[in-house]
Copies of this chain bind each other. A is one copy, B any other.
Amino acid sequence: METGDHKDCLGVIMPVRDALDVINGKWKLPIIIAISRGHKRFRDIERNIPKITSKVLSKELKDLEAHKLIKRSVFDSQPVSVEYTLTPYADTLNPVIDALFVWGTQHRKTIFGSSEPQG
């Protein structure tokens, strides 16, 4: 397979871009993580994601729902409550989240350990 130097590029880039298209932005994965951790309510999710605002969360939630990664269930209680849960499809993202977690953890060590903290 690896005969030369300029290997197939598009065949790798395109699926990766399809994936990036879905988890695009700084919020989608954190939201999925928060929900997977048992935070199903809007404010509960909001509180568990540093610096996110209602507006952004609202928008991202809709986006995620359109991608079939989360399910929005409305309960006709008093007052109305809404629960966000992950779909089984979202669970297939676990290897991605795990890889990111591992790399991010290592990266954090690298940047904090070498010269200066970041934020």
Contact = CB atoms under 8 A, between A and B. Distances in A.
Contacts of A92: 103, 106
Interface in A9-45: 9-10, 12-22, 24, 26, 29-30, 33-34, 37-39
Interface residues of A, number: 50
A34 B9 CA distance: 6
Copies in the complex: 2
B6 A29 contact: no
Interface centre among A10, A19, A39, A110 (most CB of B within 10 A): A19
Interface of A: 4-10, 12-22, 24, 26, 29-30, 33-34, 37-39, 48-50, 89, 92-93, 95-108, 110-111, 118
A103 B95 contact: yes
Contacts of A33: 9, 12-13, 16
A64 to B, nearest CB: 13
A37 B49 CA distance: 36
